[in-house]
Amino acid sequence: MSDATKLPSQKTGFVEKVFLEHPASVDETFWEHFRFAMTFGFWLALAACAAFIHALVPALCKTTGSDIICKLHARIVNRVTH
């Protein structure tokens, strides 16, 4: 069945499954989860950049990447889920 022939309830089911089900499982709205995931991704990217810099110049960013990862780990472990 194409999207054009689907009933509104079928389309809503897809949207709920893809965009709302997981955020709801961690007691967040879509936008709360979006913000958390984007912030988390930003810090992961920053940690990756620090690791690349450290690989090129070992005297730089000695603990930056691992410090960020440890803080992110603590944030995930201490995250309240329902």
pTM: 0.75
- Domain limits for position 62: 8-77
Contact 47, 61 (CB under 8 A): no
> Does residue 67 fall inside a structural domain?
yes
> Does residue 2 fall inside a structural domain?
no
| Cα dihedral 72→74→78→79 (10° resolution) | 10
> Does residue 82 fall inside a structural domain?
no
**pLDDT of residue 6 exceeding 60:** no
**pLDDT of residue 3 exceeding 70:** no
> Does residue 22 fall inside a structural domain?
yes
Q: Which two tokens stand for residue 37?
A: 């995931």
Contact 47, 64 (CB under 8 A): yes
Residue pLDDT, tens place only, 55-69: 999 999 999 999 999
> Does residue 40 fall inside a structural domain?
yes
